[in-house]
Amino acid sequence: MNTDSNENYNKRLESSVFDPLNHTSKGYYGFLLVLLAIIAWGGFAYITQLRYGLIVTGLNEVTLWGVYIVNFIFFIGISYAGTLVSAVLRLTGAGWRTPITRMAEVIAVVGVMIGGLMPVIDLGRPDRISNLLVFGRLESPLVWDIIAITTYLIACLIYLYLPLIPDLAIMRDNLEGRFSPGRRKFYTFLAAGWENTPEQKRSLEKGMRIMSIIIIPIAIFVHTVVAYIFAMTLRPGWNSTIYGPYFVFGAVFSGIAAILIVMAIFRKIFHLEEFITERHFRNLSYLLMTLLFFYAYFTFSEYLTIGYKVEVAEKELLTQLMIGKSAGWFWSFIIGGLLVPAFLIVFRKLRVIPRVVAASVFVIVGMWIKRFVIVLGTLQVPLMPFEFGVYKPTWVEISVSLAALAGFTLLFALFPKIFPIISVWEVSEEEHHEQPTPVDIPAKNIPRIFGRFKRGVKKNVL
């Protein structure tokens, strides 16, 4: 690629990424207002809950966890995939990752922030949250969870910040006049004196490499601990040895789907078609498909081993799930969360992006339902001689959940207005590097399930 085209590419890239920072449409403000209205309604619902207690929710002495805890697992799961995808692709040096890592990192931070709020909202007395640390037992998975999530949030923030530094310096140096003095000071402060010297580059690369390595076990640990909240109890369904990895794979599965949806939205809104191409969607869809297989395998293994042994309480659970009152939820997950997305990814009649994004939407909805089945399915089958539990979320829980989703979307909507949504310096560097040698990949050597390549077409080796 010659110098002129490189410069043009960089200009187009900077224009696409930096223009949204100070050009805002009326539609954007309208969208923000809608989100704020939903959040305000959720706030009202939460105040109602604080005022009258958990009696205004569908929670009761048998089903003591509801959609708040479902949302907690869901958002933490999405967050987990953000870091994992970014860190793994960074460590393996996958060049195609550069336009999408920033989005993945933002998903990680926003997901853990919203997810971390959910257990607090679930408490009838949130003012007592500090008691978990002061009077908490180190033997309790709930205390492990608080420690793990705090550590993970800090890790995600550092991991998001480090690759932002050179971009902040670009904004500080090249975009003078486009920002107010206060905003420019803000960028100058965060740019930490970056001048792109070799020593600075070495320090930054060192920091990013360390964080890429350390954040993977931290993320795995966090979601394993979330699984332990359930698996450390003797409840039917939860009493499982594979819940740790089951939750981890479920998290990555739903998280990759979330990344695909976010990519598609930002690509469309900010006209990033040149930088986020079909290739990114195709590559991530392979990952999505692989994880779908893993998750289907775990699900099959989990329910088969329960069903084969059929202890009394677990028999009740399986009956509820397969043909009882939870059957609608369970089969919605199996069909909508596994079979339909698999069909959409494997059978490639439609165009790549709509097909993969549709599959991702099915996965996201299906995985939320799966978390609902995990939490509520078990709770509705009590071990004690109670009556079977009935749980129906009230308007308060639904409003707060919608507000959480609106909060998640709001933070995403605000981020590209403050920071570049694509790592400009990384994309630019990647573009300047020598392109990988094109090689012929014979179509017969590529598994048909992962794509239908034309014979003899030159493809870059990743």
Partner 1 sequence: MFYRRSALLLLVLILVFLLIFPGVIIAENASPQYTPSYTLVIKAPEQIEAGQTLTLVAEVRENLYGDLVANARVIFFVESDFFITDLVEIGDAITDEHGLAKLDFIPNQPGVLQIVASYKAGSNFEPVEAEGMVNITGSSKSLYQTEIGIKYPNSFLIWLISIVAILFAIWSTFLFVLYQVRNISFRGTGAKGASFVLMVGVAVLFTVVVLVLVTPEAQYNFGYLP
Binding residues for partner 1 (CB under 8 A): 133-139, 147, 150-151, 154-155, 158, 161-162, 165, 169, 172, 188-195, 197, 199-200, 203-204, 206-207, 210-211, 214, 218
Shortest CA distance to 75 belongs to which of 388, 411, 440, 434? 411
Location of structure tokens 């009202």: 44
Backbone angles phi, psi at 460, to 5 degrees: -75, 140
CB of 200 to partner 1, least distance (A): 5
- In angstroms, the CA 427 to CA 98 distance is 5
d(CA 400, CA 69): 12
For the bound state, the minimum distance from the C-beta of residue 461 to partner 1, rounded and expressed in Å, comes to 32
Closest to partner 1 by CB, 217 vs 436, is 217
Residues 6+ apart with CB under 8 A from 238: 230, 231, 374, 378
**Contact between 107 and 257 (Cβ < 8 Å):** no
Q: How far is the CB of 175 from partner 1 (least distance, A)?
A: 15
DSSP string for residues in 293-311: HHHHHHHHHHHHHHHHH--
Residue closer to partner 1 by CB (options 149, 276) is: 149
Q: Is 459 helix (H, G, I), strand (E, B) or coil?
A: strand
Q: How many CA atoms lie within 13 A of 104 on its CB side?
A: 28
Shortest distance in whole angstroms from residue 113 CB to partner 1: 15
Minimum CB separation from partner 1 for residue 151, in Å? 6
Residue 377, token pair as written in the block: 């399915």
Closest separation in Å from C-beta 29 to partner 1:
30
Which residue type is seen at 394?
T
- The smaller minimum CB distance to partner 1, of residues 185 and 325, is found at 185
Residue 322 makes CB contacts below 8 A (sequence gap 6+) with 330
Structure tokens, 30: 């309208």
DSSP lists the bridge partners of residue 458 as 440
User: Cα-Cα-Cα-Cα dihedral of 98, 257, 238, 300, to 10°?
Assistant: -110
Of the two residues 47 and 154, which places its CB atom closer to partner 1 in the complex?
154
CB 290, min distance to partner 1, A:
29
CB of 209 to partner 1, least distance (A): 10
Among residues 136 and 307, whose Cβ is nearest to partner 1?
136
**% helix / strand / coil in the chain, to the nearest 5?**
75, 0, 25
Contact 5/367 with Cβ under 8 angstroms?
Answer: no
| 24/197 with CB nearer partner 1 | 197
Q: Cα angle vertex 415, ends 414, 421, to 5°? A: 140
Minimum CB separation from partner 1 for residue 356, in Å? 34
| CB nearer to partner 1: pick between 194 and 362 | 194
Provide the token pair at 268. 């469309």
Question: What is the rounded distance in angstroms from the CA atom of residue 445 to the CA atom of residue 8?
Answer: 37
272 φ, ψ (degrees, to nearest 5): -100, 25
> Which residue's CB is nearer to partner 1, number 1 or number 213?
213
Q: How far is the CB of 210 from partner 1 (least distance, A)?
A: 5
Please say which residue, 313 or 441, places its beta carbon nearer to partner 1: 313
Report the nearest approach of partner 1 to the CB of residue 197 (Å). Answer: 6
Residue with the two structure tokens 């499982």: 240
- 157 or 443, CB closer to partner 1? 157
Of the two residues 89 and 146, which places its CB atom closer to partner 1 in the complex?
146
